Amino acid sequence: MPQPAPSTAPLRIMVADDSVLLREGLIRLFDEAGFETVAALGDATDLLAQVEELRPDLAVLDVRMPPSYRDEGVRAAIELRRRIPEVGILLLSQYVEGTYAKELLDAGGGRAGYGGLGYLLKDRVASFDELTDAISRIARGGTVLDPQVVRELLARQADPLAALTPRERDVLKLMAEGRTNTGIASDLVIGVGAVEKNVTSIFQKLNLEGSDSDHRRVLAVLRWLQR
């Protein structure tokens, strides 16, 4: 079982999902991981009403919740981003909603002072370890996207990155899925050094220089998604 990153206090999480069983299950899982669930609510309105008082480190929201079951979770996430931008956000949904994912990424993704972002599909979270690892990465400011969400986002875009080689495009796609350089190397069956060279070339071709590597990784993914 992965442990949360060392800190002076446990990671504080708010949950908003209309499924009682899912809420209770997440509370138990987070407790086992050493996280603290400060609130587990049935709709996004209640989350927004309490978030400024509770000041969580991260919020986990479903995309579709009462009353209309359309986009309440995303709208709440964007509003939360506006109010308290440093709070990490994980959308945990049954649905691939590329438009909603892009809106959330547009709402502060990859900018200094903003918390991490994630969009995972409930049916594709394969293990407890996978979920807690994703939450820990988001809490550290990372971006974690399910590959199906990435494909949906990419399908909506024209291909503006003609300067990238096929290998660089493969590397950037895996970066968008939240893979580390080691994970990319494993997937593509190449060395970590080769991945690093491709990442550096991607940064150069996208004119992403003069910033720390983690920040540029997010900006590179956003450049891919937003063009």
Residue type, 210: G
Mean pLDDT of the chain: 84
Q: Is the pLDDT of residue 111 over 70?
A: no
Structure letter (DSSP) for residue 189: T
Q: Which of 98, 123, 146 lies at the terminal end of a domain, its last residue? A: 146
Whether residue 106 is found in the same domain as residue 182: no
> CB within 8 A of 69, min separation 6: which ones?
none
Confidence of residue 38 (pLDDT cuts 50, 70, 90): very high
Whether residue 19 is found in the same domain as residue 120: yes
Whether residue 115 is found in the same domain as residue 173: no
Can you tell me the distance from the alpha carbon of 1 to that of 178, in angstroms, rounded to the nearest whole number? Answer: 20
Q: How many domains does the chain have?
A: 2
HSE-CB at 155 with a 13 A cutoff on CA atoms is 11
Residue 61: give the domain boundaries. 12-146
Can you tell me the distance from the alpha carbon of 84 to that of 14, in angstroms, rounded to the nearest whole number? Answer: 13
HSE-CB at 123 with a 13 A cutoff on CA atoms is 5
Q: Give a yes or no: residue 35 inside a domain.
A: yes
Residues 51-59: what's their mean pLDDT? 96
Confidence of residue 158 (pLDDT cuts 50, 70, 90): low
CATH number, domain containing residue 35:
3.40.50.2300
Q: Which of 90, 125, 146 lies at the terminal end of a domain, its last residue? A: 146
Whether residue 134 is found in the same domain as residue 31: yes
Of the chain, the percentage scoring pLDDT greater than 90 comes to 44
